[in-house]
Amino acid sequence: MSEQGAEQLAAGARLSVARTLNRCTVLGPGRRAVLWVQGCPLRCKGCVAAETLPFAPEAGRPVAELVDWLTELTDIEGVTLSGGEPFAQAAALVELLDGVRAVRPELSAMAYSGFRLPVLRRGTGAQRELLARLDLLVDGPYVAALHADLRWRGSSNQRIHPLSPRYLKELAEPDTSAGIQLSVGLDGSFSWAGVPAVPGFREEMERRIAAEGFALHTEAGGPVPHTGGGEL
């Protein structure tokens, strides 16, 4: 990162974050970190996790801290940005990707959005700048009535757009669900991430978890609408 860039980040750019995951193999090509932002301006029918829709400035984390987190993950090939709505915090995400690539230029970037690509292309300057830094975009909101067994997305209205040549080969592979990733932390915590191939996955999992006497946390660290994930 340039000295000037580091000073700008140190000056206080912040990103409202719902949750992060260090390594994930079901939300984009290869092994990736995932960052779910907090807050979305849309209210789509079928959004499965209302808890991440409110904007929460108090959940803001310094962009410089997130740059350090990503650049220290030496075994990932990129980062996936989900939410919430990443393009509602486009300027901070542009700073994040620039900061990361100043140190790790090889890392790829993928993002989800409830907005369609043509809308984003007519959007704010920061939204266009974020598009210019992405290799892949999955656009459109999740619509429960259109749920389908698809790779990296939950409903058939959502589309994968290659915004660079990097993943054209992967996009030619079969378009079926990448599955769900389950993780158990050293502290005994349990988490899941991914896009379920069948509708109602989250509800059924929560029902079974509750039946065993556990509680699923659904605050800022909980499941998210574009791409599922949760923690116990």
Which positions lie near ligand SF4, rule CB under 6 A?
Answer: 40, 42-44, 47, 53, 83-85, 114, 141-142, 225-226
Residue 85, judged by CB atoms within 10 A of its CB (0-12, 13-18, 19+), counts as buried
Nearer to ligand SF4, 47 or 111 (CB): 47
Residue with smallest beta-carbon separation from ligand SF4: 114
Query: Measured between alpha carbons, how far is 220 from 232 in angstroms, rounded to an integer?
Result: 13
Nearer to ligand SF4 by C-beta: 98 or 139?
139
Smallest distance, ligand SF4 to C-beta of residue 110, A? 16
Closest CB to ligand SF4 among 1 and 126?
126
**Nearest distance from C-beta of residue 94 to ligand SF4, angstroms:** 20
d(CA 79, CA 100): 10
Per the document, the length of the chain is 232
CB 46 → ligand SF4: shortest distance, Å? 7
Compute the distance between CA of residue 157 and CA of residue 139 in angstroms, rounded to an integer: 9
Helix (H) or strand (E) holding 109: strand 108-113
Which residue lies nearer to ligand SF4 by CB, 142 or 192? 142
CB of 143 to ligand SF4, least distance (A): 8
Is residue 93 classed as helix, strand or coil in its secondary structure?
Answer: helix
